[in-house]
Structure formats: C-alpha cells, structure tokens
C-alpha cells in the first residue's frame, strides 16, 4: 500500500528529530503490541517504567509520560507554578524561542527571560530577579527553568546545576530542567543522569525521548513531589494524557533499561565532534561555540549557506551574523559527516587538499 516516499539514506543536519526511530525502540513497540492493556497509563508498561526511572533518578522519582517536549514543559511548569508565579529562563531557551505562546496560553505563566550567550543560567541571574519576591505588583519568580544540554550546545556541569538549584531554593523557587537532550549532556560529561538532576537539586525534569531515538514521547519526571500540584489533572487538561501510553512507556523502558540511551547520545556527540574537527580545517568557516554535545554552530558566508541548504537541511540560527546550527543524531554516520564536509568545501570553493590533509 505504502511505497517509500523518501530516500531512506537521506541525512539532514537540521535537528536530531529529523532522524527515524532506533530499530531497538521500534522492536520495543512491537513487543508491547498485541493484546489489550488498560488505557491512560494504567498499563503494565507504565507501571514498570516507574522502576526503570527510579533506578536512574532515585527512589522519589515519578515518571509521567507525555507526547511532546513542548507538552512536557507546559505540564511541568503549570504544575510547578502558582497563578501569580513566573518562570525564569534563558533567552535562548526552547521555552522562549520555539514554543509559540504555549508557556503563556497553555501553562498560563509569564516567562522572565535572561540574556545568556552560552544558554546557561547562574546564581547571579537568580539573585538579580529575587528582588521581585514579595512585591505584589510584580510577577513572582517561582520556577527556574534550565535546559540541559542548552540550546546553544553547552552543558551544565553537576556543580553548575547544583549552584543554580541552591540559589533557587534559597529564594523559595523550584527548579525545572528541560532535558530534551539530557542524555547528550550526561554522555558528554560521562556522568549518570542523576548527577545532573536529583543529586544536583533539580525538582522536575522534562525527560527527552524523541531526540534520543524514540518514535515519539517524553516524560515529566518529578523528583520532588512537593514541587508539583495536580500534575495528573494538568496533564489531562493540557491534552497530553495519551490513551495508548503503553507505547511511550515501552520505548522508555527499552531506552533507559539498557544502555541504549547512552549509546545513542555518545554516538550523536561523537559525530558532532567529528564534524567540528573536519570543518575546522576549512578556510572560510568559523566554529563559534564550544562543541560539547551533539550540535555544531558555525558562521560561513551567507551565499554558501544558501547553496548548501539546497543540498542539505539545516537551520540558520541568526540571520544577522549568518550563524548556522548543524545537529547530529544517533544515526548520523562518519560517511554522512564526510559527505557533508565535502559539500561545504565544494560550496566554499576549497580545493581537496586544503581540507583532506593531515587526518589523524
Ligand atoms: C530543548 C528543547 N526542549 C523542548 C523541545 C520540544 O519538543 P517538541 O518539538 O516535541 O515539542 C525541543 C525540540 O526541539 C527542544 O530542543
């Protein structure tokens, strides 16, 4: 009935959600298929997922599977924030730049946006906004939301995260972590997931599945139950209560119950490292941010970008500076990277020997 409409070998560097589904996760869906299971999360897979999540995040963790990352963020923030509360986040955060008016319209909160070149919040940012606390005329900063790995591709160390959490808690705020790429950060730092979350004082995590190889599905992982109120009702009201939740949970069990999450994240990070190493040899391209997880940010001539974007999908991040983002996935191969680097060299008019020599 359905003949393949696209070239299955096609690779993009636009986002890690351009990739397909990891075969082990497709197999997990097939295993969970067949027979009937109680809908809306009362299934055996969602039950088992709690054990798997606790093994990573500690005994207080509760996983609430949802369908999308935006959905996970708005469910988490809505359950964490009082009606008079606001959420402190970086200007680069997905929450601020790429979730439309979902934080305002769906989570019914106000974002207080902080400029941060590397995408990270610090205790100083929190201190600067704490003066609003107690002033009835001002939105009350109630939640600090950080992203791990950040949108500009950096990672918070466990110590940096703990410092943010300590400053937030000292001011009566709670900490939300958007972990769409938490696995990439943990792989980059070679630490367990809990070192960046539970042990660093984070209260609620949006745990990414899609960018780590799943078909779809994320989870709100509550680490401190006192930090949320009415989450089950909020999830339903936000249209994120999936009736066939077993298929999200089964994928997470496979991903987190084995080392697949780490393999996928390590691989994506390694491909970004390879891409950066190869591109650094090209005259005319500058890598403008540290490459710490699975993204490479570069500036190259605009006309080169225009020609290149006709051949490969990737995003221009900043039209003014010409900065682009190249993102690698669990299924990016070294050959994909070499093909892409060759294309960049061609569009730059760089001769073969200028970028091929001196390979280690
Ligand atoms: C950091 C971050 N958070 C959240 C999301 C939201 O995910 P979704 O597109 O599933 O709503 C994304 C997706 O790109 C993201 O990069």
Q: How far is the CA of 181 from the centre of ligand 1 (A)?
A: 9
pLDDT at residue 4 tops 50? yes
Atom of ligand 1 nearest to the CA of 68: 10
Q: How far is the CA of 289 from the centre of ligand 1 (A)?
A: 20
pLDDT score for 2: 81
Which region holds residue 144: left if phi is over 0, alpha if psi is between -120 and 50, else beta?
Answer: beta
Burial class (CB in 10 A: 0-12, 13-18, 19+), 139: middle
- Mean pLDDT over all residues of the chain? 96
Pocket test for ligand 1, best of 12, 65, 70, 328 (most atoms within 8 A of CB): 70
pLDDT of residue 138: 97
- On whether the CB atoms of residues 354 and 281 are closer than 8 A, the answer is yes
- Would the CB of 145 count as within 6 Å of ligand 1? no
Instruction: Name all domains of the chain by residue range, CATH numbers in brackets.
Output: 10-17+260-355 (3.90.1150.10), 22-256 (3.40.640.10)
Pocket flag, ligand 1, residue 249 (CB < 6 Å): no
Confidence (pTM): 0.96
Mean pLDDT on 212-234 = 98
Atom of ligand 1 nearest to the CA of 15: 14
On the question of pLDDT at 87 being above 70, the answer is yes
Q: How far is the CA of 210 from the centre of ligand 1 (A)?
A: 9
Ligand 1 mutation target, pool 75, 101, 180, most atoms within 8 A of CB: 180
pLDDT at 159 over 50: yes
Q: Per-residue pLDDT averaged across 276-283, rounded?
A: 96
| Ligand 1 pocket member 209 (CB < 6 A) | no
What is the per-residue pLDDT across 12-53, written as a single tens digit (0 to 9) for each?
999 999 999 999 999 999 999 999 999 999 999 999 999 999
């Amino acid at each position: 009935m359905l003949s393949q409409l696209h070239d299955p070998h096609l690779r993009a560097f636009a986002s890690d959600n351009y990739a397909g589904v990891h075969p082990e996760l497709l197999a997990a869906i097939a295993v969970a298929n067949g027979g009937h299971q109680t809908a809306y999360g009362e299934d055996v897979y969602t039950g088992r997922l709690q054990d798997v999540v606790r093994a990573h995040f500690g005994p207080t963790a509760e996983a609430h599977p949802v369908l999308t990352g935006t959905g996970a963020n708005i469910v988490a923030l809505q359950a964490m924030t009082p009606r008079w509360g606001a959420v402190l986040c970086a200007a680069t955060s997905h929450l601020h730049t790429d979730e439309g008016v979902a934080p305002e319209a769906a989570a019914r909160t106000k974002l207080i946006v902080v400029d941060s070149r590397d995408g990270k919040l610090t205790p100083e940012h929190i201190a600067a906004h704490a003066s609003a606390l107690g002033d009835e005329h001002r939105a009350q900063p109630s939640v600090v939301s950080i992203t791990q790995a950040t949108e500009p591709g950096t990672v918070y160390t466990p110590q940096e995260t703990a410092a943010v959490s300590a400053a937030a808690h000292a001011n009566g705020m709670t900490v939300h972590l958007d972990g769409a790429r938490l696995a990439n950060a943990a792989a980059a730092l070679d630490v367990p997931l809990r070192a960046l979350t539970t042990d660093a004082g984070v209260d609620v995590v949006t745990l990414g599945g899609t960018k780590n190889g799943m078909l779809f599905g994320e989870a709100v992982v509550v680490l401190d139950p006192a930090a949320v109120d009415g989450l089950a009702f909020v999830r339903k009201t936000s249209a994120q209560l999936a009736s066939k939740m077993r298929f999200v949970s089964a994928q997470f069990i496979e991903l987190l119950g084995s080392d697949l999450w780490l393999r996928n994240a390590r691989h994506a990070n390694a491909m970004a490292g390879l891409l950066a190493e190869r591109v650094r040899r090209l005259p005319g391209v500058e890598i403008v941010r540290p490459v710490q997880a699975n993204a490479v940010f570069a500036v190259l001539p605009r006309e080169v970008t225009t020609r290149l974007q006709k051949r490969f999908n990737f995003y221009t991040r900043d039209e003014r500076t010409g900065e682009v983002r190249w993102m690698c996935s669990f299924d990016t191969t070294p050959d994909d990277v070499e093909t892409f680097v060759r294309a960049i060299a061609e569009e730059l008019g760089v001769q073969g020997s200028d970028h091929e020599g001196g390979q280690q």
